[in-house]
Amino acid sequence: MKRAGTYSGILSGGISGKTGPHLLPLARIKKIMKQSSDDVKMISGEAPIVFSKACELLIEEITKRAWNITVQGKRRTICKEDVASAVITTDTFDFLVNLVSDSANSQESPRP
Amino acid sequence: MIDEQDKLLPIANVGRIMKHILPRNAKISKEAKETMQECVSEFISFITSEASDKCHKENRKTVNGDDICWALSSLGFDNNSEVMLKYLHKFREYERQKAEQNKASSSEEKDDVTSYRLGLQPDTSTPLEFRVLDKGGSSSANPK
């Protein structure tokens, strides 16, 4: 039996709002989309589905890069600094640089 | 704090996707997963804003899959964009065929859907050689 790929994943599960074949919940994706901008009023049904795949690819890419850093440090546990480094060293992820820097900064003890 | 969670995708799902491409002995700290959650939400917002701007300029109200693909490409996610377009086209193809299936007949739906799920497409261009097993006794595939 063929391993379920992207296409057959859709066929077996349909496009209902269930997490089903999609690894990420479509309703939540839609919610996040709506919060992104006041201009976003209507979203087609397929947009969250496209995002579900796009986010999966993004997570995989960042994770792979983070893991390389983890291994270089002779460790087996990916820590958040590895994720941050993966983001900072990749041009496409420039838009995330502030986010991961903020995360890193918030770890430091806040000034009284 | 519960509101915060609404802005993020569930940590379990995110963690699962991360684990999927790592070797078995790899571990992921909770903070790493949390950071990833935030990155994904930011990604969605970032791409959506771009797609939404485009719709706005073109006087369209609905952000669709093509807009997302365009935004992905425009913002440097070229590889992803191609994959996404293929994914989107296949999805639309599936939707179209499903709609056609529903129109054809609802009684034989089950058989068709089953074979469809296996990735086989019912061949309606040539008359079906009826195997005796046919259940619905339908002859809609036999053009007259």
Give the tens place of pLDDT for each residue, B78-117: 767 677 778 888 888 888 888 888 888 665 555 544 444 4
Chain B contacts of A15, Cβ < 8 Å?
A: 91, 95
Which of B4, B43, B56, B79 should one mutate to test binding to chain A, selecting the residue with the greatest count of A CBs within 10 A? B43
Q: How far apart are CA A21 and CA A5, in angstroms?
A: 10
Shortest Cα distance, chain A CAs vs residue B62, angstroms: 5
Judge whether A58 lies within some domain.
yes
Judge whether A1 lies within some domain.
no
**ipTM of the complex as predicted:** 0.77
Q: How far apart are CA A93 and CA A17, in angstroms?
A: 29
pLDDT at B107: 57
Q: How far apart are CA B27 and CA A77, in angstroms?
A: 4
Judge whether A57 lies within some domain.
yes
Which residues on neighbouring strands pair with residue B27, listed in sequence order? Answer: A77
Segment A2-9 long-range contacts (CB within 8 Å, at least 24 positions apart):
A2/B119, A6/A53, A6/B87, A6/B90, A7/B90, A7/B94, A7/B119, A8/B117, A8/B119
Contact A92 B35 (CB under 8 A): no
Judge whether A3 lies within some domain.
no
Which of B21, B63, B109 should one mutate to test binding to chain A, selecting the residue with the greatest count of A CBs within 10 A? B63
Q: What is the CATH number of the domain that holds A37?
A: 1.10.20.10
Q: Name residues of chain A where pLDDT drops below 50.
A: 1-20
Residue ranges making up the domain that contains A40: 8-108
Residue in B6, B17, B77 nearest the CB of A59: B17
pLDDT at A104: 61
Judge whether A54 lies within some domain.
yes
* B2-52 residue pLDDT tens: 567 789 999 999 999 999 999 999 999 999 999 999 999 999 999 999 999
Percent share of chain B, pLDDT over 70: 68
Closest by alpha carbon to B44, among A29, A95, A37?
A29
Contact A37 B18 (CB under 8 A): no
Judge whether A68 lies within some domain.
yes
Residues sharing a CB contact under 8 Å with residue B34, sequence separation 6 or more, in sequence order:
A80, B11
Contact A60 B43 (CB under 8 A): no
pLDDT at A63: 97
Which of A29, A43, A77, A99 should one mutate to test binding to chain B, selecting the residue with the greatest count of B CBs within 10 A? A43
Number of domains composing chain A: 1
